[in-house]
Amino acid sequence: MTADIDDGVSQLDKIQAMSKFAKELQPSSTRSRFERNRRAIMKHWKWILVASFVCGVLELMIQGGCIGEHVSEPVAKVGSPRPEMVIPEGKGYTPRACGLDMNRNGVIGEPADRLVADGKTSDPDGDGIDEDIIYVCSETGANWPNDGSIDQPVRTIQYALEIADGPEDGAEDIICISGTFNESIHLIKGGVPGHYERDGFQFPKNPTMIVGWDRDGDGEYPPYDKDDIAVLDGQNRLDMAITNRPNKISYFELAHLTITNYGRQPDNVTLDQMDRGAIRLSGIGSGEQSHLYIHDVEFQGVNKSAPSESATIVVSFWSRKNTLRHVAFINNLVNEFSSYCFRGAPHNGSGHFRFQNNTFKFYGVTDPNLAETAFSYAAVAKMWSNHSNVEYIDNVIDGNPRAWRPKGYLSGIRSGHGTENYTIRGNVLIDLGTPISVKGYAGRQFVYTHPSNNLRIDRNIIVNTYDDFRKPVKGILIMAGRTQNATVADVAITNNVFYSSSEWNAIRCHAANNEGPQPGTITITGNTFYGAFDSDEFAHIYINPGRRKFPQNNFVVTNNVFANGGGEHPNVIASYAPSNWSAGGNVYDTGGFIWAGEKIQTLSQWQQTTVADADSEQATRAIENPLSGRAPPSQPGRTPGSTRRRR
């Protein structure tokens, strides 16, 4: 935490610059716009009535066929158009010629890393052992009697996996693919055990690989190199591209190809559980699968427009009683998917998962005749159970709601019950109903050995520009539980930027339980908040334990900037008075507060009531949408106009 705050020194200038810049470019805040609209309505109400009446008559005439075509279909509400957004550099997926680190030296894309699938190199990782390289071409290849050599490529990926001899000979099997394949494949044999470390993560050293073939030999791989084709196409009739279910292998790397048009068919009732999507990483039963690495893959239209269901998952972590360890998903595009991208309950001891530099874009159901549940409960990631050490770093998640109009919860990253040590850092989350949430309790059927704990949410940019979600938007949601083990303990929310052009709760905290003192601390430090509010139900920070008996009492709220674009509404709403409330160094909007249900109008009253925030100030700040392209690209908040910082 200290490091985060120290880093803030350099960030101070940025936020000051941003606030100043924002004032110049955005002289009229949403708040004054509301006021202008209200005054305009008061002034011209008679004319508005007349106009409404004329419009109503015209509409009746149109519907009755008096004017133009008869329109029988209801016209969908379009809502506000999406403003232009600029994604900061270094966030999300970037197509690249080579994302491989074949010589395992921690540097990606060197000349020495581009020898795999080049059609000639027999020892592409340079370890002195010739790998078992099998070439597959969907057009010119032929299965038996071809042997998969460069001169005799086989035709299908599944056949290549069948003739691969596995790890026992000490040479890993590398399948190089060229062409378009309409296959559902299952993995058969894993790689040679062993790993190497890069950026603090264990990657497989000698994995079984399925990799796009650099067929033109220029050192550039598909899908970046458009001259090389490597596509698995399910043609909207195949359920899954790659499954690890039957054999549950370890040491596997999938790279440089496209997976498209799998899953999705809504009426296929013959599907087995959790098998609709692109990849399933594990199976049922027992055991451990480790060192699974997926990178530089473009997932296009997997489960696109499929109804929301728990079995509809792009990359399934479903692993009943299995342990999954060292799973990395780096620099991939998941474009236009529905329901879940990652979902499952990685079993006890599972962990170190890394999701880094991926871009996710939702595209859910659009058939208005489907039940409301078909539009609900989608998430990029929903994982629960006793696993630990999960990182989401520099991803871009786009809810894309204007394209498909979600009705229910639309989530980014969900951390379920029993999870520990989650790091959610540097991500850009756009137009999601619940961008980030953490849960401690999920029903009586589960056993709880400890609370969900140590969630770090740092340096993310959370933006909402969609005003038509059915449920109020919550930037970060912390949920309640039943017991001290079935709840949420430590959560640190630091250096993030929250921005919504419609009303929301940037942080909504229900942390509490029914058994005894609530464990942990909620820390909210160094963030910038901008919210438009239309009522006292909404605030930047909303704290309410509901009916739970033991609410969270430990809060640290320091060095944040709160800007309120929507009127005289609260900065903070607390339905009770947390007994250990430590706050300071904040800049609050002039909108006031609610504490233990009582409205507080001024900062001095707030300071007296909470016995905190002595060095905070109350001021109006104009905050720019951080993705507008006009604001500095990265700008965690912190004490603008003041050098006072609290440690």
CA-closest candidate to residue 483, choices 532, 549, 541, 425? 549
The number of residues making up the chain comes to: 647
For the bound state, the minimum distance from the C-beta of residue 119 to Ca ion, rounded and expressed in Å, comes to 10
Q: Which stretch binds Ca ion (CB under 5 A): 76-84, 171-179, 334-342, 525-533?
A: 171-179
The reply to whether 103 sits near Ca ion by the rule CB under 5 A is yes
Cis peptide before 633 (omega within 30 of 0): no
Sole binder of Ca ion in the list 5, 29, 93, 113 (CB under 5 A): 113
Q: Smaller CB distance to Ca ion: residue 139 or 216? A: 216
Query: Using CB atoms within 10 A of its CB, is residue 620 exposed (0-12), middle (13-18) or buried (19+)?
Result: middle
Q: Please state the closest distance from residue 365 (CB atom) to Ca ion, in A.
A: 38
Distance of alpha carbon 227 from the chain centroid: 31
- Cβ closer to Ca ion: 205 or 382? 205
Asked if 431 interacts with Ca ion (CB under 5 A), we say: no
Q: Retrieve residue 538's tokens.
A: 């909404």
Q: Contact between 162 and Ca ion (CB under 5 A)?
A: no
Q: Which is nearer to Ca ion, 6 or 169 (CB)?
A: 169
SS3 (DSSP) at 528: strand
Q: Which of 647, 644, 643, 580 is nearest to 615 (CA)?
A: 644
**Minimum distance from CB of 192 to Ca ion (Å)?**
8
Which among 165-173, 229-237, 544-552, 598-606 is the span making contact with Ca ion, rule CB under 5 A?
Answer: 165-173
Instruction: For Ca ion, give the closer residue by CB, 205 or 343.
Output: 205
Asked whether the CA dihedral 8, 9, 11, 17 is positive or negative, the reply is positive
- Least separation in angstroms between residue 394's CB and Ca ion is 21
Residue 110 engages Ca ion in binding (rule: CB under 5 A): yes
Q: Given the complex with Ca ion, which of 21 and 224 has the nearer CB atom?
A: 224
Least Å distance between CB 114 and Ca ion? 9
> Is residue 298 involved in binding Ca ion (CB under 5 A)?
no
147 near Ca ion, judged by CB under 5 A: no
Shortest distance (Å) from residue 163 CB to Ca ion: 11
Q: Which is nearer to Ca ion, 169 or 568 (CB)?
A: 169
Residue 222 C-beta: closest distance to Ca ion, Å: 7
How many CA atoms lie less than 13 Å away from 285 in the CB half-sphere? Answer: 10
CA distance 601 to 592: 4
The interface with Ca ion within residues 225-264 (CB under 5 A) comprises 225, 228
Taking the least distance from each CB to Ca ion, the nearer of 192 and 306 is 192
Nearer to Ca ion, 191 or 277 (CB): 191
CB 196 to Ca ion: min, Å: 10
107 part of the interface to Ca ion, by CB under 5 A: yes
169 sits near Ca ion (criterion: CB under 5 A) = yes
Buried-exposed string 202-218: b where 16+ CB fall within 10 A, e elsewhere: bbbbbbbbbbbbbbeee
Burial class (CB in 10 A: 0-12, 13-18, 19+), 400: buried
**473-478 vs 434-438, strand pairing mode:** parallel
- Closest of 401, 403, 385, 404 to residue 435, by C-alpha: 401
Binding string to Ca ion for residues 609 to 628, with x set by CB under 5 A, is what? --------------------
CA 372 to chain centre: 23
Using CA atoms, how far apart are residues 245 and 324, in angstroms rounded to an integer?
13
What kind and span of H or E run contains 437? strand 434-438
275 touches Ca ion by CB under 5 A: no
Write down the residue that tokens 């990029």 correspond to: 380
Q: Is 216 in the site for Ca ion (CB under 5 A)?
A: yes
User: Residues in contact with Ca ion, total (CB under 5 A)?
Assistant: 22
Whether the Cβ atoms of residue 311 and residue 349 lie closer than 8 Å to each other: no
- 394 lies in the binding site for Ca ion (CB under 5 A): no
- Nearer residue to Ca ion within complex by CB, 229 or 238: 229
Q: Could you tell me which stretch among 223-231, 457-465, 591-599, 607-615 binds Ca ion (CB under 5 A)?
A: 223-231
Rounded to whole angstroms, how far apart are CA atoms 24 and 262?
49
Asked if residue 199 binds Ca ion (CB under 5 A), the reply is no
Site membership for Ca ion, residue 123 (CB under 5 A):
yes
Q: Name the region of 388 (left: φ>0; alpha: ψ -120 to 50; beta: rest).
A: beta
Binding Ca ion (rule: CB under 5 A), the pick from 7, 127, 515, 615 is 127
How far are the Cα atoms of 1, 52, 65, 68 from residue 58, in angstroms, in the given order? 62, 10, 11, 11
Provide the minimum distance between the beta carbon of 283 and Ca ion in the complex, in angstroms, as a whole number. 22
* CA distances for 265 relative to 234, 239, 242, 258, 364, angstroms: 11, 8, 17, 19, 13
* Contacts (CB under 5 A) with Ca ion, residues 512-541: none
Tokens (6 digits) for 600 = 């507080």
Distance CA 193, CA 171 (A): 11
One residue of 37, 52, 63, 105 binding Ca ion per CB under 5 A? 105
Assigned token pair, 219: 């050192």
| Beta-carbon count within 10 A of 80 CB | 12
DSSP-derived letter for residue 168 is G
Asked whether position 118 contacts Ca ion by CB under 5 A, the answer is no
Q: Applying CB under 5 A, which part among 59-67, 206-214, 323-331, 567-575 lies near Ca ion?
A: 206-214
Q: Which is nearer to Ca ion, 95 or 516 (CB)?
A: 95
Query: Judged by CB under 5 A, does residue 132 bind Ca ion?
Result: yes
- In the list 17, 62, 129, 577, the residue contacting Ca ion (rule: CB under 5 A) is 129
125 touches Ca ion (CB under 5 A) = yes
CA distance 507 to 556: 13
CB of 197 to Ca ion, least distance (A): 13
Which segment (49-57, 207-215, 247-255, 346-354) binds Ca ion by CB under 5 A?
Answer: 207-215
- Beta carbons of 622 and 563 less than 8 angstroms apart: yes
Q: Give contact residues for Ca ion (rule: CB under 5 A).
A: 101, 103, 105, 107, 110, 113, 123, 125, 127, 129, 131-132, 165, 169, 171, 173, 214, 216, 218, 220, 225, 228
